[in-house]
Amino acid sequence: MRLRCAVLDDFQRVATEVADWSPVADDVEVVGFDTHIDDEDALAQALAGFDIVVTLRERVPFPGSLIARLPRLKLLVASGMRNSVIDYAAAEAHGVTVCGTASSSTPPVELTWALLLGLARGIVEESNALRSGGPWQSTVGADLHGRRLGLLGLGKIGSRVARIGLAFGMHVSAWSQNLTKEYADEVGVALAASKEDLLSDSDFVSVHLALSDRTRALLGPAELALLKPTAYLVNTSRAAIVDQDALLAALHAGRIAGAGVDVFDLEPLPADHPMRTAPRLLATPHLGYVSQANYRTYYGQAVENIQAYLAGSPLRLLP
């Protein structure tokens, strides 16, 4: 009897198009879910008849309580090689193998600049006005050349964002709790003396930190108050790094020029969520990782992981 594989959060219905699933077609029936299920009871019911689950990033938690309710589950494949919402001990206890895939940092770098440029030049507002017969030129764009880009985090993604900023002729500085002057010098950026100095000095601030106990709510009301009224904030990392209520208050009060956000406290974002109608906000539905190349990697390696599991030699084991 063929095994059944659920592919979660296949919103665009492309999981079976961007990768070749034929190597497992004889052994596995693939079923895509194009809507998100965020209730554990509903998820347990939906997945009860599946032996394999492919889950996208960290969108769906797999705590021990859920894994215990899925007796048929034998293989869980997560995109990326780091996933903080899977209970690995519970998976092992219930005989569930957990595998990951590679993931490129290029798409979030590119989306960061799409948001930053969109904010700086009023792209959405001007395009909407042009298409709807609105005013011809209603904004005056913010320059990048000669302005300061402040990066919270200078890791794999932050360092690439930095180099693009330098190519635009921006002054780039960075800060994180573990960042050294030696590494900042290697990337070619200035090491900010403190988080507070970076926030108050920058014209554009972009967040590129991993979420942890140290970075949760790193930017709260006091920190956002340090930003210039002409400054823009971009967050393509994790929503919880920026206090969402404080950000909404700053946007509504006009205390900053604008924000570009790709990550939210609830995803998918509820229809009545205040982020959907906030002023001065350019928002995208967590598109940082969503690109053709990344999806080919995610689903192509998911197929490889399933093949390897069926052959008795699992690949890319997590954690």
**Residues identified as active-site:** 238, 267, 286
**How many other β-carbons are positioned within 10 Å of the β-carbon of residue 28?**
19
Alpha helices in the chain (DSSP H): 40-47, 64-67, 88-93, 106-121, 123-131, 156-167, 181-187, 195-201, 221-224, 244-253, 292-310
Residues linked to residue 78 through DSSP beta bridges, in sequence order:
55
The amino acid occupying position 143 is: D
Secondary structure, 3-state, 240-277: HHECHHHHHHHHHHCCCCEEEECCCCCCCCCCCCHHHC
Helix (H, G, I), strand (E, B) or coil at 117: helix
Exposed/middle/buried for 227, CB within 10 Å: 0-12, 13-18, 19+? buried
8 A C-beta contact, residue 216 and residue 225: no
